[in-house]
Amino acid sequence: LGSGNDGLDITHRILKEAPKHLNEGGHIICEIGYGRDLLEAAYPEIEFLWLDTENSEGEVFWLSREQLV
């Protein structure tokens, strides 16, 4: 999987395009694997809600459409 030097190119694209595809009040859940610190640094204005799964901690986030616009 090629996603740029930091591994987040696709995630950046998803975050940029998501508001166009979400209804008002809609949400997005995205798994990034490693890279939480880099993602939070790239979007300091967004308060990510990080979700733990059975197999990971802090690799899945949930955001509302409103947070992205």
Local confidence band at 66 (pLDDT 50, 70, 90 cut-offs) = very high
Check whether 4 has a pLDDT greater than 80. Answer: no
Burial category of 25 from C-beta neighbours within 10 Å (exposed 0-12, middle 13-18, buried 19 and up): exposed
Q: pLDDT tens digits for 16-57?
A: 999 999 999 999 999 998 899 999 999 999 999 999 999 989
Q: What is the pLDDT of residue 65?
A: 97
